[in-house]
A = this chain, B = another copy of it.
Amino acid sequence: MSENDLITPVILSGGSGTRLWPLSTDDHPKQFLNLTGPLSMFQLTFERCQQSDLFDLPLIVGGKKHAKLAEEQLKEIGSSVQAHILEPCARNTAPAIALAALACKNPQSLMLVMPSDHVIKDVQAFQQAVRQSQSLAKARWLVTFGIEPQRAETGYGYIQQGEPVIGSANSFAAQRFVEKPNRDNAENMLAEGGYYWNAGIFLFRADAYLNALEAHAPEMLEAAKRAMDKADHDDLRIMPHEESFASAPSDSIDYAIMEKAEKVAVTPVDPGWSDVGSWDSLFEITPPDDQSNVTFGNVIAMESHNNLVHSDGLEITTFGVDDLIIIATGNQVVVLPRGQSQNVRKIVSERNKTV
């Protein structure tokens, strides 16, 4: 493989989820938390694309506010980047990826676009799916990776597969993007088969993406171009022009491009993926102790079972309680039943009212 064939990882770190409150906050969003081990999900995303025969140095696209935090976390794991693009304001994923595509030195570069707040347990399976999709992406397909669904999840979007793509190892034309379904539709899709979770991971040529933008979101492309033309540079940091970027319509890559473009493919993969989108999902992906508790930090669980107890400082003791989620950080403690963690947004908004 020639150097030009190396894939540029594009790591999106602009998210600011509050579903893992009180640990994830505006100042310290989810991707920078180390919920599953010593490394944060942001750091794990870098570890996932360190193979020198496959990956070039990554591009980061993230929020200005978290630039320092991101760079400190990279320093901790000794990772370098091609560039760190600081979004001057949040415009969702399609414009963010446009900035990265415009930053690629070679327009034919393959970009592997990845959110930085997901967990992938089987990195080998993931990388294999990437390798299998390279030829397709080179042939100007916009490739998405479809996660084999584990259950009738209503919290994710789905991708329906169409015909196999001739000449591909194991990819299909993407027939349809399905928004977060209701329970019935989720169960029907699971029963029917051929539907995958949309994990927001993509592989495509920079120019193929820019062409698709030109066709389906020309204003967005223009705004991104102006923002990059007038960008400030500071060492590896690129600071796109704020006013220009702010004029880009705010839209996700799914809505703006994937649902509309022609050559969109899906490569199925089962890499032990989770978006760690809630405390319940953290419980599900973490191996429990012998009392079936998942604990982190200074926790003693006595005669307690099936609890998630996570503390980054406070001493938590439980006695005789089951099926609870207990999260403590700083001077905040939250207690709710397992299975209810989708209500954390509600809790945050209630908390904000009273503060």
Contacts of A316 in B (CB 8 A): 333-335
Interface class of chain A by DSSP: strand
- Interface residue from B317, B343, B350 paired with A332 (Cβ < 8 Å): B317
Contacts of A343 in B (CB 8 A): 319-320
Q: Are B300 and A350 interface neighbours, CB within 8 A?
A: yes
Q: Are B317 and A314 interface neighbours, CB within 8 A?
A: no
Q: Are B302 and A320 interface neighbours, CB within 8 A?
A: no
Q: Mark A290-331, 1 if CB is under 8 A from B, else 0.
A: 000000000010100000000101111111110010101001
- The answer to whether A351 has its CB under 8 Å from any CB of chain B is yes
Minimum distance in angstroms from A244 CB to a CB of chain B:
41
Contacts of A313 in B (CB 8 A): 331
- The answer to whether A287 has its CB under 8 Å from any CB of chain B is no
Chain A interface residue count, Cβ-Cβ cutoff 8 angstroms: 30
Q: A300-B350, A300-B351, A350-B300 are in contact. Are A335 and B321 (CB under 8 A)?
A: yes
Copies in the complex: 2
A311 (CB) vs chain B CBs: closest residue: B333
- The answer to whether A52 has its CB under 8 Å from any CB of chain B is no
Q: Are A315 and B300 interface neighbours, CB within 8 A?
A: no
A322 (CB) vs chain B CBs: closest residue: B337
Minimum distance in angstroms from A126 CB to a CB of chain B:
35
- The answer to whether A340 has its CB under 8 Å from any CB of chain B is yes
Q: Are B318 and A335 interface neighbours, CB within 8 A?
A: yes
Minimum distance in angstroms from A312 CB to a CB of chain B:
11
Q: Are B346 and A319 interface neighbours, CB within 8 A?
A: yes
Minimum distance in angstroms from A289 CB to a CB of chain B:
15
- Interface residue from B302, B324, B333, B334 paired with A347 (Cβ < 8 Å): B302
Q: Would you list 16 pairs from A and B whose C-beta atoms are within 8 A, ordered by A residue? A: A302-B347, A302-B350, A313-B331, A314-B328, A315-B332, A316-B333, A317-B333, A317-B351, A318-B335, A318-B336, A319-B334, A319-B335, A320-B336, A320-B343, A324-B335, A328-B333
| A-B pairs with lowest CB-CB distance, top 3 | A319-B336, A318-B335, A317-B334
List A residues at the B interface (Cβ < 8 Å). Answer: 300, 302, 311, 313-321, 324, 326, 328, 331-337, 340, 343-344, 346-347, 350-351, 354
